[in-house]
Amino acid sequence: MPSTTRRARRRDTPPPRTGSDEIEVLRGFLDYLRTSIVAKVDGAPEPRVRTAAVASGTNLLGLLEHLTFVERSMFLGDTVTDWQATFHAPATDTVADVVARYRAAVEQANDILDGCTDLGAPLPRPRPGRRAPSVRWALAHMIEETGRHAGHADILRELIDGATGR
């Protein structure tokens, strides 16, 4: 149950102003969502940041851990054998550890994307035996995936301590 004594309200950050180029728009919105989810985890108290707040077992830190695996799978070609397990951060990791790992994955993904100028071309990632999706599809999927979990994070953070806003 959120604290009723202090509601931390964060001023909403508006959607990004990007150029009119399709790749700039897609990358701008993906980066906006990436920043939003990290902001939801930032400052959330232990152990509540990793405590399930809903019946499914979803927790705030687990969402960020999962998105780290999604970034690495999509853009770096990492193989994930148990997606459900990615929703739980290791108990030995601090919030700072999970945030740093996510930021590192995003930085590596952006390094890959920096070389992608044709949205219709396949994503340049090593994944033997599987055809890579187009850069356009990968960006659209990551906007959907990150946006979906950022929405979950909004609710979970408000349940933890009443913090709202992007």
DSSP states of 128-159: TTSPPPBHHHHHHHHHHHHHHHHHHHHHHHHH
Is residue 7 a part of any domain in this protein?
A: no
Q: What's the pLDDT score for residue 10? A: 57
Please identify every stretch of the chain with a pLDDT value under 70, giving residue numbers as ranges: 1-12, 14, 16, 126
**What backbone torsions phi and psi does residue 33 show, to the nearest 5 degrees?**
-70, -40
pLDDT at 8 (0 to 100): 54
111 in a domain, yes or no? yes
* Per-residue model confidence (pLDDT) at position 11: 63
Say if 6 falls within a structural domain.
no
Listed residue (2, 147, 138) closest to 63, CA to CA: 147
Domain interval for residue 125 = 24-161
Question: Does residue 142 lie within any of the structural domains?
Answer: yes
| Residue 106 lies inside a defined structural domain of this protein | yes
Burial 137-155, CB ≥16 within 10 A → b, else e: ebbbebbebbbebbebbbe
Instruction: Return the pLDDT at 14.
Output: 65
| Closest CA relative to residue 120, chosen from 139, 140, 136 | 136
Instruction: Tally the domains of the chain.
Output: 1
The model carries a pTM of 0.89
Tokens 């090593």, residue?
126
Which CATH number is 143's domain given?
A: 1.20.120.450
pLDDT, tens digit, for every residue of 141-157?
999 999 999 999 999 99
The verdict on residue 17 lying in a domain is no
Residue 68 resides in a domain: yes
The pLDDT value recorded for residue 1 is 46
- pLDDT tens for each residue of 69-99: 999 999 999 999 999 999 999 999 999 999 9
Residue pair 12/166 in contact (Cβ under 8 Å)? The answer is yes
User: In this structure, is residue 18 part of a structural domain?
Assistant: no
Point out which residues pair with 134 in neighbouring strands.
Answer: 122
